[in-house]
A and B are shown apart, each in its own frame.
Chain A
Amino acid sequence: MSENNRVHHVYDGIEEEDNRLPNWWLAILIGTIVFSFGYWFVYETTQKLPSPLVAYEAEKAANAAAQAKLAADTPLGDDSLWAMTKDADMVAAGKKVFSQICVSCHLDKAQGSIGPNLTDKYWIHGYEPMKIIEAVTNGFPEKGMEAWGARLGAERVKQVAVFVLSIRNTNESGKAPEGDIIDPAGN
């Protein structure tokens, strides 16, 4: 054996040899140090690569642009939403979203608790289909209704709005009426 193997010292019977540092270990040590200098140089000194905040702003802008394009390409209207209430799949999908999200304030039959009863003829913010879309999307934070647009996404907002339209005037007994009577002809 080489001189590297010599016993360096003995403590309480514990011998201490002095073997060479394994090369692969040294490679990790030096490799991580070199990597760190490089990372700092690129991200902090020159800021050639984006910091988390800059990357986030870019991600956000790209998403907003995509959403705007979608909105422009596929307009929704009161009539098309009314038509969708006849689509059983669409209503069922909306019911599923409702039972996951909305029940905590409007309860399972939409009879109302923290939020208003959605099955009577009284509407606080209007019940035209686009108004309901708007209510779900942006909420009424000052009254406790959260803005669900970002979290649910356009498709599910539409589904749940269609569901709410489909249960109009089913008059579940529940929370006392709030808002104005709106009873358009034919409903």
Chain B
Amino acid sequence: MQTQRIEYDDTTVRRFIWASILFGVVGMLVGILVACQLVWPALNFGIPFTVFSRLRPLHTNAVIFAFVGNMLFAGIYYSIQRLFKARLASNFLSNLHFWGWQAIIAAAAITLPLGITQGKEYAELEWPIDLAVVVIWVVFALNFFWTMAKRNEKQIYVAVWFYIATIVTIAVLYITNNLALPLTLGKSYSIYAGVQDALVQWWYGHNAVAFFLTTPILGIMYYFLPKAAERPVYSYRLSVVHFWALVFIYIWAGPHHLLYTSLPDWAQSLGMLFSVMLWAPSWGGMLNGLLTLRGAWHKLREDPVLKFLVAGVTFYGMSTFEGPLLSIKTVNGLAHYTDWIIGHVHSGALGWNGLMAAGMFYWLVPRLYGTKLHSVKGADLHFWLATIGIVLYMVSMWISGVTQGLMLRAMNPDGSLLHPEFLETLAAIQIPYLVRALGGAMYFTGLIIMCWNLLKTALAGKAVTTTIEVVVAPKQPAPAGEGLVGIILGRPFVFSGIILVFVLAIGFMTSPLAAMALMGVILLLSVVAWIVNTRDKKAGRKSWFAIIEGNAVAFTTMTLLAILIGGVAELLPTLLIHQSLPKDAAKYQQPYTALELQGRDVYVREGCYLCHSQQVRPFLAETMRYGEHSQLEEFVYDHPFQWGSKRTGPDLHREGVKQRPSSWHYNHMIDPRATSEGSNMPAYPWLLSNKIDAKLGEKKLRLMQKLSVPYSNAQIDFAEQDQQAQAEAVLKDIGADGLEWNSELVALIAYLQKVGKSQGIAFDAPSVRAAGTPVGMLEGGR
């Protein structure tokens, strides 16, 4: 037996930890600022770089990719070295990964306040930064899999399964969603339009939560929780079941962000059902974490690390229960576009990610610096501030979301809206908004205490290098049946494949009898599979899962397959819609004129979509308030789609149909409170002096033509003149002195007056005109 001396690379781990803490502070500070801006719009400071709609993406990107990103890299790099008994494969790749990722964060921190954005949530970064993200992600993957190849431990622990799922899936998601045609260095157009873009975006957006904020943290839980508790992990078989169920099911759930929208109903139903089925797989992770503590609950009293990890896992359980609940169509009908969703994501981000990060840091830093934690009391104080902060945050957002949701749908006995003005509902949620900011500030105070505590700890010790002796087993060929072929022919794989085909077939069934027969077959097959599996186990055969867990290539391939099935099954039919779309060609939207397109780019740059949706759902209260419900043919030229996901202000899809005077828009943008008393919208005075680049209009149309928007060559050639002609008309309508035709505000107004004016849709106010008479009135009665 040969032995080998291995020195772990913990320098990289230390760097990622400090970077995570630094960006956590920055990201959450911006979070508090934007929370306060919603109460006091003056805090937007009247300049472009600090306006809510540009800072909000900075907040989300900083917390997700900088804070949690660096944290998960630290956790992964620390744990895989120990689990593989191998040093990180390459110092060069580790350095490149660390510095490259920080450079990406710096680029994001500069470009987002400048308004350089793709206009898709959590995918705001423009194409050059996207390319850098892909390169650095590949560097990470190389470093990871190379280390795995050099491992001195054949079997792969459950933590690593989750890491593999993370690496593979994020690569697929990120590339697919960010495909875009560049216009300039700082501007590109998504290659998808309208409903397709919406589905791809939320398939990405939802699974970024799944595979960036959930799976890697579950892996970290599987390593650090049993370490800190010094107890065995509760159940191997639970980890097998919940891992495979989680990676397979999660990927389908994206459309739950698009319930009641113009997305075809079958895709909405899939999104809802897979979210509901996700409940148990998610709770599997929580159970395995919490039950690991059985017999060790008393340790919670003394050990701050365990406090944080256990509370983190508990919040995970809570938000993965709330998630499926919110995905049920009727619940979503109330909650979507309201603060309930904001509360939900923060119970995940602050509760699950934030507390897990803190627990991991409190465990790691003393060990990495060869000393004890500076202050256990300080950590306890952090814990209570954080927990109470989260609770205040969540409860205030529940109250705010449900209040606003109910007010917006409330009706008078005469069938009219009880609160016709959107602003009435905003006035009703001011106190929850204040409490939310307070909760966030408490959480932030805890974070600062942690910074002080960890810095003190690090300064008291010094960076430690760990070396171990490992026994290097001689390389042996895989035993018969344990190679790739054996795995593919393994029973679980074959059975799952067959069952899956039958399940997918149900989706295409319109005959109830055939569907029922198929369900019978599936049930039968499941029973057979269960019997065979039980027999195999009794016979003492090595399980298929044990085999695959020793074969890195097979494991990674299976994971990739598991996530691709859901993605392809949902995305492909929707992407093909373009060919099969003309359900009702008369409803198609008109392509934007060059000026409107310029205005739309201003809309995207300023981030209007972060507070205004462009998607009227088919609810009576909604169509009465905003106008005819949105239909999928109306977005075919929207690169990118701007449906939004939150209504801090009213929906804007039928803004063009309302034909508001240009002067109204003008006044509204300069001072929103002049036209809408009590509004919390920021003012956008710089749109007056900023000028559009009229020459770019032609280039934009040409690019759109490549994306199959039907512009004629004449339209492209005369783009510049057309812009001026249309702008002069808007200008005349505004009637303000000193405003020039190429002011960005003019273009934006032209766009807003176009939105939602599709051909072939009857824009009547549903209840009154449908009755055939405008003057049906209720005499006296109240």
Contact = CB atoms under 8 A, between A and B. Distances in A.
Interface of A: 7-9, 11-22, 25-26, 28-29, 32-33, 35-37, 39-41, 43-46, 51-53, 55-56, 59-60, 63-64, 66-68, 70-72, 74-76, 80, 100-101, 103-105, 114, 130, 133-134, 137-138, 141-144, 146-158
15 contacts: A9-B155, A16-B232, A19-B238, A29-B280, A32-B279, A35-B273, A39-B273, A44-B507, A63-B767, A64-B766, A67-B776, A71-B777, A105-B675, A150-B766, A158-B777
Nearest to A61: B770
Given A19-B234, A46-B512, A150 B767 contact: yes
| Among B287, B619, B775, residue most surrounded by chain A Cβ atoms (within 10 Å) | B775
A181 B340 CA distance: 53
Given A33-B277, A56-B620, A60-B770, A45 B510 contact: yes
B775 A18 contact: no
B234 A155 contact: no
B384 interface: no
Contact of A44 (B82, B245, B266, B511): B266
Given A28-B283, A36-B273, A68-B772, A100 B421 contact: yes
B414 A70 contact: yes
A54 B223 CA distance: 50
A42 to B, nearest CB: 10
Contacts of A70: 414-415, 776, 778
B279 A144 contact: no
Contact of B660 (A32, A53, A146): A146
Interface of B: 82-83, 85, 153, 155, 157-158, 223, 226-227, 232-239, 241, 245, 260, 265-266, 268-269, 272-274, 276-277, 279-281, 283-284, 287, 291, 324, 329, 412, 414-417, 420-421, 424, 506-507, 509-512, 515-516, 519, 617-620, 623-625, 629, 657-661, 663-664, 667, 675-677, 765-779, 781-782
A105 B664 contact: yes
Contacts of B623: 56, 60
A19 B284 CA distance: 13
Contacts of A152: 416-417, 420
Contacts of B776: 67-68, 70-72, 74, 154
Contacts of B619: 56, 59
Nearest to B222: A14
B664 A138 contact: no
Given A32-B276, A74-B778, A151-B420, A138 B658 contact: no
A105 B658 CA distance: 14
B148 to A, nearest CB: 14
B767 A74 contact: no
A155 B772 contact: no
Given A35-B276, A40-B506, A29 B420 contact: no
Given A16-B233, A155-B416, A37 B519 contact: yes
A113 to B, nearest CB: 8
Contacts of B775: 71, 76, 130, 133-134, 137
Nearest to B780: A74
Contacts of B620: 56, 59-60, 63
A15 B233 contact: yes
B538 to A, nearest CB: 12
Given A21-B241, A33-B277, A56 B618 contact: yes
A64 B157 CA distance: 62
Given A40-B273, A46-B512, A52-B618, 7 more contacts: A11-B83, A14-B233, A59-B620, A60-B770, A70-B778, A138-B774, A149-B769
Provide the main secondary structure of the chain A interface.
helix
B416 A151 contact: yes
A155 B414 contact: yes
A54 to B, nearest CB: 9
Nearest to A65: B771
Contact of B281 (A29, A104, A158): A29
Given A74-B781, A154-B416, A17 B236 contact: yes
Contact of A154 (B274, B277, B625, B777): B777
Given A14-B157, A17-B236, A45-B512, A144 B661 contact: yes
Nearest to B503: A37
Contact of B779 (A25, A33, A44, A74): A74
A157 to B, nearest CB: 7
Contacts of A144: 659-661, 664
Contacts of B778: 70, 74, 154-155, 158
Nearest to B265: A51
A41 B516 CA distance: 8
Nearest to A42: B512
A9 B236 CA distance: 9
A63 B621 CA distance: 11
A67 B774 contact: no
Contact of A138 (B234, B283, B629, B769): B769
Given A56-B620, A59-B620, A21 B235 contact: yes
Contacts of A53: 265, 618
Nearest to B549: A9
Which 4 residue pairs spanning A and B have beta carbons closest together?
A153-B416, A71-B776, A56-B618, A144-B661
A11 B157 contact: yes
Given A17-B234, A28-B283, A39-B273, A71 B416 contact: no
Contacts of B510: 45
A52 to B, nearest CB: 5
B506 to A, nearest CB: 7
A37 to B, nearest CB: 6
| Among A137, A141, A158, residue most surrounded by chain B Cβ atoms (within 10 Å) | A137
A17 B619 CA distance: 51
Contacts of A149: 765, 767-769, 774
Contacts of A35: 273, 276
Nearest to A146: B658
A28 B777 contact: no
A67 B664 contact: no
Nearest to A67: B771
A65 to B, nearest CB: 8
Contacts of A59: 619-620
A172 B266 CA distance: 58
Contacts of B767: 60, 63-64, 67, 149-150
B247 to A, nearest CB: 15
A44 B269 contact: yes
